[in-house]
Each structure stands twice: as C-alpha cells, then as structure tokens.
Copies of this chain bind each other. A is one copy, B any other.
Amino acid sequence: MNYANRMNDLKPSDIREVMKLIASNPGTISFAGGLPDPDLFPREEMRKATDKVMRESPHVALQYGLTLGRISLREKIAGLMKREGVEAEVENIAVTTGSQQAITIAAMMYMEEEDVIITENPSYLGAISAFKPFSTNIIGVDGDEEGMMIDQLEQAIKRTPKAKLIYVIPNFQNPTGRTWSLERRKALLEVAKRHDLIVLEDNAYGEVRFEGDRIPSIKSMDTEGRVLYFGSFSKILSPGLRVGWVCADKGIIGKYELVKNGMDLQSAELAQMQVDGFLESNDLDEHIGKINSVYKMRRDLMLKTIKKEFPEDAKYYYPKGGMFIWVELPSHMNTRELLHRAIERKVAFVPGGSFYPEGGCESSMRLNFSTMQNEKIVDGIKILGELLRESI
C-alpha cells in the first residue's frame, strides 16, 4: 500500500504552518496570508446575482454543465483578454477551479518526470506545489526590478537541456510585488522561442494596479501559441467562488477539456453563473477601482511605517500593485527564527525562504497589506521593527 513516488516531495507548505501558528494565537495581526479583504467583496451585488440565478435558472445551476465552462462566461472572459492585448474567442478559454487548477493541468499536460520547470526566484508557492507531483526539477532564476534576469535564464537553460516550461508572474509578483518591464517580457518570449519552451504567464494580480500603465502581457506578443495565460477572479471578485481560467490556443484548450473531464468533470456551475451574472449587471472596473483605492492606502501606510520603524539596512521593494511588500534583511538574519518571536508578540508574516524553489534567502520576508485594517498595519509593523532592531 505504498504511495507513488510523486508523493515523496509533497510537504505541507510553510504558509500552512504559519497559519496554524496564527490559529493557535488568536488576535494575531497577520501579514502572512494572501487573502482579499472580505469587507471589499461586492456582497449585495453577488447576493442579487445569486438570487436571480436561483429563482430563474435553478435547473441549470444545479445540473451538470460543460467541462470547459459556461459559454456566456467564456465569452465575457474572452472580452476581458482584450485588456491584455489578446484577441481571444470562446474556444481559447477554459474555465478552471481557480487559476490554481489551470496551473496543475498545464503541468500534467506537458511535464515528464525528468523535465525541468523554470520559475522566478522566489515564486508563488502554490505553483510549486502544483508542479511537484509531475516534476520535482524546479529551477529558480533570480530577478531584479525589471523581472527575471535574462542572461541567468539563458545560463540555466544551457545547464538543463530538459527545460520545458517557464512559469512567471509578470505583474505585481507573489511574493516580491515586482512588475516586469516590456523589454524583459519580450526578451523572455525570445528565449522561449529559441529553446522551444512553453511559457506559463500567471496574471492573478494584474488588475490590482495602483499606479502606472498596463504593460502588454506576454501572451499578447505570442504568435505561435507558446504562451498559456492564467487569469482569476479570486483577487478582484471572490476567491471562494474558485473561478479562474486559462487562455491559450484552441488545440491546447482541447487538451484542457480532456484532462479536466477526467479530473473533476467541470467546476461548480452556480459559481460560474454568479460571476457571469455579476459581470452582466455590474461595472467590474468600478468595483476594481474601489478595491484598489483601499489596497493602495494600505500599501502606502505599510511602506511609510516600514520606512519609519524598520532598521535602515532592511531593504524593501515598492510594489505598484498586488498584495505584498517584500523585505530583505541583512544576510546573517533568519526570518524563520524571527517569526517565532513575532508570533509571541502576536504578529505574523511568511519567511521569504519558503518561496525559493531550491531554498535560500532565509533573511527575507513577505508582508501582505490587503487584509489588515490601518491601525493593525501600524501596530504590527512597529512590533516587527522593534524585533528587527533587537536582532541587528
């Protein structure tokens, strides 16, 4: 009754361990999660959209539907892709159970055990968890303020002839908050072409922009069907609905249909109708504007407080959107250790080392600013500042 070998490398994520610590310390100020603020959910609008479905089409909402998702929702999603400079049709879109499932299916579709996935260094933990059952050969490539460093990417590919996928989050990256420049996006696509690699472009945070102009997506420059674009309503509408999507060439979407059919037949029908109904009767941009104005205030407040309270040799990044501020401390410091002292003082964050697929940088930390109210942001950062000063 042995498990398959692919189970060996699946471990509970560090974030989950942090969450357990928080759960056993009620009242903790948490900068650890990546949750949208539930006070910003469009509750009344969603209630109305839901009520309409349950009164007018309960026989549809409760019945089996299509594996790739509701046509009318896929049409709307295809419309949203225009914002990213992508001309998409219904046949280019598959609805998935959050973009998380879109990542899993891509890994399943492309990866042989010996193949290599390249990610940013650091990167989204959940993607790494999605990849691991299909390949544990995950290589992180460092980045700077403009995105992944292309010369390092080239070197990594030269070292690993089995490289097959590159997974990137070009907007307001999790965990660093960084946004890729247009030049870096172009360069990545060129490298992918040259080495015949698939690009997985995860844009979960793209709409959570506080300033600056939208930079064209990598998918918008893709003329060969080499890029799979992942989108999600989790950050802008609601994560509990679990409605995400992949936008890709029709042939690839056909493969998504086959895999998803075996995996769960389809995502929850009502959840899709809720999103569809919300988009039908509400102005998505108006809602996004509301969210972003609050998150921007919180980002500004957190940055200001960090500047004031953290020791000078704590380096931090200025995110133009998203949900996270990334902090790098002097290299002798260990944020896993720091976390335990912070938890005692009822403040939580995620140690940055967790986000490195090959380990490393134990002196970094990720701070979420979307969930906590102003006062708690100030109090929590002050406490972290005190602990940091004590350590340095």
Contacts and interface: CB of A to CB of B under 8 A. Distances in A.
Interface of A: 1-7, 10-13, 16, 35-36, 38-39, 41, 43, 46-47, 50-51, 54-55, 58-65, 96-98, 100-101, 104, 108-112, 115, 126, 129-130, 132-134, 196, 198, 225-226, 234, 237-242, 255, 257-259, 261-271, 274
A268 B3 contact: no
A36 B13 CA distance: 39
23 contacts: A6-B108, A7-B259, A10-B255, A11-B258, A12-B257, A16-B261, A35-B63, A38-B60, A43-B59, A46-B58, A47-B54, A61-B240, A62-B237, A63-B238, A63-B239, A64-B239, A101-B263, A108-B133, A132-B262, A241-B269, A242-B266, A242-B268, A268-B271
A128 to B, nearest CB: 8
Given A3-B255, A240-B268, A270-B274, 7 more contacts: A7-B255, A38-B59, A38-B60, A38-B62, A46-B58, A64-B234, A100-B264
A5 B110 CA distance: 8
Contact of A271 (B36, B46, B258, B270): B270
Nearest to A261: B129
A215 B39 CA distance: 49
Contact of A1 (B12, B226, B263): B226
Report, nearest first, the 3 A-B pairs whose CB atoms are least far apart: A240-B269, A129-B262, A62-B238
A1 B51 contact: no
A166 to B, nearest CB: 12
A58 to B, nearest CB: 4
Contacts of A97: 97, 264, 267-268
Contact of A10 (B1, B12, B262): B262
A115 B109 CA distance: 20
Q: Count chain B CB atoms within 10 A of each CB in A59, A110, A240 and give the residue with the most.
A: A240
A3 B106 CA distance: 10
A45 B111 CA distance: 45
Contacts of A60: 38, 240
Contact of A64 (B3, B35, B96, B237): B35
A261 B101 CA distance: 10
A87 to B, nearest CB: 21
Contact of A4 (B10, B96, B109): B109
Contact of A58 (B2, B43, B267): B43
A101 B260 CA distance: 10
Nearest to A111: B4
A213 to B, nearest CB: 30
Given A1-B196, A59-B41, A62-B38, A265 B110 contact: no
Nearest to A42: B62
A263 B4 contact: no
Nearest to A34: B64
B46 A62 contact: yes
A77 B122 CA distance: 40
Contact of A265 (B98, B111, B133): B98
A36 B268 CA distance: 16
A3 to B, nearest CB: 6
Given A7-B109, A51-B51, A268-B241, A41 B13 contact: no
A226 to B, nearest CB: 7
Q: Count chain B CB atoms within 10 A of each CB in A3, A62, A112, A115 and give the residue with the most.
A: A62
